[in-house]
Structure 1
Amino acid sequence: MSRARCERCHRPENHCLCGLIPQLDSRTRVLILQHPSEVNHALNTARLAALGLTNAQLVVGEVFEDLADLLEVPGYQPRLLFPGEEAQSLVSQGADERPILLVVPDGTWRKARKLLHLNPLLAALPRVKLDNAPGSRYRLRKAPGPDALSTLEAIVHALHTLEPQHSFDALLRPFDALIDGQIKAMGEETFRRNHS
């Protein structure tokens, strides 16, 4: 029999994170396109981001039939957060500029590339990348590189870059609690042996 889960954060009820999830406003709109393989992942950081931001939307799928509608948000200019040679560095936005609709694919690098391949409209968007990203707090994962961040961390860094006058650090509180809980569950010795 499976454990009872919180309807909102999808964590087991005795590990519910809802009390730590903020409700933050942002000028930037965030659209997270989540690969279905991520939905039941124990550390579903994209869900935490979508729950913590009032101007965010999480859509799960591989082929997004309604992508044109999702991207056409009046007053916003869509940008795909995905590295590549043609990606422009994100910079802070002036109040007179149209705010950004930040489109964030969520999945492993392989799955994220697949989302772009299956959705030509997504692949055609102007791309942006993160500069000077902080080290990942995701201590349970062997990162493919020093600048590899979880989806939530990438969104927080992007928002800090675009809107430096606001702090989005509160989004990281449930993430840190989640990581600490996982480490506690596996035991400090196991964690050190496998992740240090």
Structure 2
Amino acid sequence: MEEPEHDTNPIIATNSPPLSPPPQPRQLCTQCDRPLPVCLCHVLPTTPLQTKTKILIIRHPHESRHKLNTTPLLSKTLLNATTISSRRLLPHHLPNQSPPAIYLFPPSPSTPAVTLSQLKSTNLLNYQTTPLLLIVFDATWKHAKEMVGASEGVLKGFAARVCLDGVDESVVGGSIYDSELVLRKEPFGGCVTTLEAVARCLGVIEPNGNEVQRVLIGILREMVRLQAGFLKPVKPRTKMLKKNKHKEEGNSKID
């Protein structure tokens, strides 16, 4: 008997829905380069603020991918702010003339730092003709440590280390405006965003520092307020105890 012929291209009925079109790219504001729902043009100054201080921001290449990175807002708000993408400070990043310089970073056992409140009593702010250079490292805490370590050869003898008041590695870090909006957990007490760090520093070293700080902090507040509608709040995580501590606690309870 002949075997029945089989259809080499059978038609299989399916109820699968049609493929959805690919997602459309987000529309960006042509002025602030942010997605339209979180546009910040209404709080950015119409003309970038003039400062005597020159701000040099060394931004880790990975930071350009972070949605909450605040460095682009500094570049659009401050006329004398320059951003360079690099993993360390190099000699050619600096101005031709060597002005008095400070860089923001917490102290270490080998490199102490002057706090902002102490900075007022130093001669670093007594500049008349030569403007002060403020160097900032924009990165995660881990990367920032690496960047500063790799830049110490250039920084040594050229720039003084300055830190914000209240930096304490033994204290659990807060978040951006912890009392109002919780978006991102900081590693320890005193850590803030790059924009807030620059704002607080300029508030001390600029002649019109209060006004500059007010504008910058206002922009940060609005950014946080808008982002809060699209991000899940970060809940503080309880610290995991080490195994030996668990055993010690268990033994003390038995005793």
- Structure 1-normalised TM-score? 0.81
Instruction: Measure how far apart 1:78 and its partner are.
Output: 2.1
Matches within 5 A, 1:68-79: 68-74=91-97, 76-79=99-102
Give the Cα separation in 1 of the matches to 2:83 and 2:160: 20
Q: Is the 8 A contact 1:80 1:102 kept in 2?
A: yes
Q: Which runs of 5+ in 1 are unaligned?
A: none
Q: 1:89 to 1:73 in 2, by over 3 A?
A: farther
Which residue number corresponds to residue 199 of structure 2? 156
2:228 maps to amino acid: I
- Of 23-32 and 110-119, deviating more is 110-119
Cα contact 2:115–2:162 (8 A) shared by 1: yes
Task: Give the structure 2 partner of residue 46 of structure 1.
Answer: 71
Superposed, which structure 2 residues align to 1:77-156 within 5 Å? 77-84=100-107, 85-90=111-116, 91-92=119-120, 93-94=125-126, 96=128, 98-124=130-156, 125-131=159-165, 136-137=176-177, 139-156=182-199
Secondary structure of the structure 1 residue equivalent to 2:189: coil
Would the aligned equivalents of 1:80 and 1:122 in 2 still touch at CA under 8 Å? no
Change (3 A) 1:109 1:2: same
Counterpart residue number, 1:181: 226
Shift of 1:13: 2.8
1:126 match: secondary structure: strand
User: Superposed, which structure 2 residues align to 1:161-172 within 5 Å?
Assistant: 161-163=204-206, 165-166=208-209, 167-168=211-212, 169-172=214-217
Contact persistence 1:34–1:60 (CA under 8 A): yes
Return the structure number with greater helix share. 1
Write the distance in 1 (CA, Å) between the matches of 2:225 and 2:64. Answer: 21
Answer whether contact 1:136 1:153 (CA < 8 A) is retained.
no
The more displaced of 167-176 and 26-35 is 167-176
For 1:19, which of 26, 42, 48 is the aligned residue? 42
Are the equivalent residues in 2 in contact too, given 1:78–1:101 (CA < 8 A)?
yes
2:217, 2:198 → 1: CA distance? 10
Q: Name 1:5's counterpart in structure 2.
A: 28
Cα deviation, residue 55, structure 1: 1.0
CA contact (8 A) 1:87 1:126 kept: yes
Greater CA drift, 43-52 or 87-96: 87-96
**How far, CA to CA, are the matches of 2:86 and 2:29 in structure 1?**
22
Q: Percent identity?
A: 30
Greater CA radius of gyration, 1 or 2?
2
Compared CA separation, residues 158 and 25, structure 1 to 2 (3 A):
same
Larger RCO, structures 1/2 (Cα 8 Å, 6+ apart): 1
- 1:9, CA displacement in angstroms? 3.1
Report the 3-state secondary structure (helix = DSSP H, G, I; strand = E; otherwise coil) of the residue aligned with 1:99: coil
TM score, norm. by length of structure 2: 0.64
